Every structure is written in structure tokens, then in C-alpha cells.
Copies of this chain bind each other. A is one copy, B any other.
Amino acid sequence: MVRPERRTVRDLRRGNRAVLLRALYFAGPTSRHELTALTGLSAATVSNVTGDLLADDIIVEAGLVDSDGGRPRVLLRVNPTYGFAIGVDVGETHVRVELFDLDMNELAKSEFALRPGAHDVDVVVRHVLSGIDAVVADSGVPPSKVLGVGVGVPGIVERGPEAMIHAQTFGWDSVPLGTLLRAGTPFPLHIDNGAKTMGQAEMWFGAGRGSRHAVIALIGSGVGASIIADGMTYRGANSSAGEWGHTKIAIGGRSCRCGGRGCLEAYIGAEAVLERAGIDVDTSTEQAAFAELVTSGSPVVEETVEYLGAGLANLINLFNPERIVVGGWAGLLLGQHLLTTIKQKAAENCLTQPYSTASIVLGRLGPDAVALGAATLVVDEFLLSTTSSSVSREPAVS
């Protein structure tokens, strides 16, 4: 029952510094004057704090803007090359490592294919580590300027120093990925579920921008969701919140690859949809087959949309979001052709009041934003807790 605590007068500065930096990051080039309105701080404090940040080279000046008849405003922005963030996407078919500057420009990329079914922990760890080395080398970024590495992985991630992973599709049971990676890289690590990193990417740069309460629904072979409560990813007690795909939508219904019956994923996951339509595919042909199916007018698709609508309605009833973002490769395909029907089915299965406040939109980042999202974990931490000259003085811990 005890809520957040602040202590000393020094925390005030740290907090205001973070507030200001965050405002600057998301608002883009902004003058000190505008920052007073954005942050609620006085002009004096803004001047003060920006002075610090400028001295630390965390922010830089970005031109002037005339103002009718007065001193022109100096625009400020976050220095995009103050530090760099690495994002890693551990997917079913590949390990992808990307290096970004703070503007999220991709400066280097490294990718490794994974053979289907070959998700050995050692292999993945080796790929991630050599990917990190590769992107740092390729980009020419000095290691001291790498702020950290974010990793998006499938399955349930218990956050903490160990970052335990439970991923059925990989056959991973209690894999201490954090410990394994930390042995091979000096950079601070942030490990999270891939759906959650992707959700954060949509929130920062995609269809979720501007909303405080949102759900990012991700539909691919499997089904997941990322819940944003009051601007922050909701994780629950053990970071496994958002397992939408395995909520029951039919008691005693179709059996699911999780071992249960009647899971939503068994009705709207691409793998299950193709199976229900009697189409036999492997990983390589899955997406093409699904795309074809969606436009075919098959009754299976119709049924899928019915279940999807109900699934979204459940999210709306439970979370009362302002926005639902439908993403994932299969979700995007379905949405591009059938968004109106999806909305209609959601409305039919939802209470009117919460439905009316939730707008259902398509994701804007495409299915490859997991690495981007993973990198935002690093940036998020940076924006929150940058102290003077903090760049990797001592390697932090996830």
C-alpha cells in the first residue's frame, strides 16, 4: 500500500532533469521557453538544468527560431550521438542485432539465420554476442558510448539480474539469459519479451503515439499483447502480464500448442488459422499462404475475424484503453483487408461505454520493430536516470 517515495533534495534535481530530458526527446527541437510549459518548471530552473545538460553534452543547440519582434528562441535537442543503443531481436527464424543512435537511426545491423527447431541456448547466445561485436565494429562507435543492449525474446521473461526465460516454442525452460549474456559483454543489459519491446516501439514511434492507455495486440504465428497502463508497459508481478494468446475464448475448444484447449491463439494465430483452413505449410511459405487465404473470402477467415473481434473486446472490457493497435505480420494482413469487420465484431462483443473510448488502429512499424523496441528499453533507462557523466563509468545491471 505504500506508494512511490522521494527522499532528498537531490532527487528533485534528478527527477526534473529526467522530466526535461524526456520532454525534449519526445517533443523534438524545443526552446527553453517552450520547455517551461511542457515541464511545468520555472524558466530559471529550465535554464539551470539545460545548462547542466549542455555542459554534459547530453543535449545540443539546434538552430534559432525568429519570434515576432523579440529575441529569437534557441532550439535545443537531445544530442543524437551522445550515446548509442543496441537492440536485439531473438526470433524464431533469426537473431538480429541493430545499433542505433539516440534518434533511432540504424547505424549498423547484423543478422543470423536460425534453422527451424534449432534454438539451442548456446547458439543464440553466441549469435547475440558476436552480433553485438559486429555492430559496434561496423558502426565505428566507441564502446564507451554504448549505453546498453536491449534484447527482445519470445516467451515469458522474469526480469531481474538473471532474466530467466521460459519459452515453450524454443524449448527453453528457466534459461538465465541475463547471466549468460553478461559473461560475454560489458554493456548493461535489458531483457524483455519481444511483444513488449515491439509494443514500446509502437508507443514511441508508431500507432500508439500520444496515448497513455493502450494495448498492442500482436498476431503472428503466435499471439501476444503488450499492455500500456498510464504510459508504462504493464508487467505484473513477474513480468509475464499480457499473455493474451492463451486466454480462453472457448471452454474445451481447439487444442493449442501450449497444451491447453480453447486458447485465443488456437483460433487467430496464423499457424492455427492455416491449419483450420486445411492448408499445409512450413515456416518459409507460411506468410504467403496466409496472405492468400485472407483475400480468399474463406469462411475460416470470417470465423477468425469473429474470434479476433471478441478477443479485442475482452481487452477493451478489461483494460479500458484509449487505443488498440493491431500488429504482427498476420494481424497487419488481417487488418489491411478487414479492419471494418474487425471493429464491428469488437463492438458487438464489447460494452458500449469502453468501446466508444477505444480506437482500433493498425500498427505502423511492420513486424520487424522488435529490435527497435528492444533498443528503446536502453533509451528509456537513459532518459530516466542520466546523471552527470554517467556513460558506462561502471557497467550497470539490468
Contact = CB atoms under 8 A, between A and B. Distances in A.
Interface of A: 1-9, 11-12, 15-16, 18-19, 22-23, 26, 39-41, 156, 158, 166, 203-204, 212-213, 225, 227, 229, 231-232, 234-244, 246-251, 258, 260, 262, 306-307, 310, 313-314, 317-322, 348-351, 353-354, 357-358, 384
B244 A320 contact: no
Which of A4, A250, A314, A318 has most B Cβ within 10 Å?
A318
A71 to B, nearest CB: 26
Instruction: Identify the 4 closest CB pairs spanning chains A and B, nearest first.
Output: A236-B320, A241-B320, A243-B317, A247-B314
B40 A247 contact: no
A356 to B, nearest CB: 9
Contact of A3 (B12, B40, B231, B307): B231
A87 B186 CA distance: 56
A231 B1 contact: yes
B237 A213 contact: yes
A212 B357 CA distance: 28
A6 B2 contact: no
Nearest to A3: B231
Contacts of A9: 9, 12
B4 A4 contact: yes
Nearest to A8: B12
Contact of A349 (B16, B203, B248): B248
Contact of A19 (B5, B16, B41, B166): B5
Contacts of A354: 156, 236, 238, 240-241, 243
Contacts of A250: 249-251
Contact of A7 (B16, B166, B319): B16
Contacts of A236: 213, 229, 319-321, 354
Contacts of A243: 317-318, 320, 351, 354
Contacts of A11: 6, 12
Contacts of A246: 317, 350-351
Nearest to A315: B318
Nearest to A235: B320
Nearest to A311: B248
B1 A5 contact: no
Contacts of A351: 156, 240, 243, 246, 258
Contacts of A225: 318
B16 A3 contact: no
B1 A12 contact: no
B7 A40 contact: yes
B3 A6 contact: no
Contact of A237 (B2, B306, B322): B322
Contacts of A15: 5-6
B248 A313 contact: yes
Given A251-B249, A318-B247, A351-B246, A6 B5 contact: no
A92 to B, nearest CB: 18
A203 B2 CA distance: 12
B3 A22 contact: yes
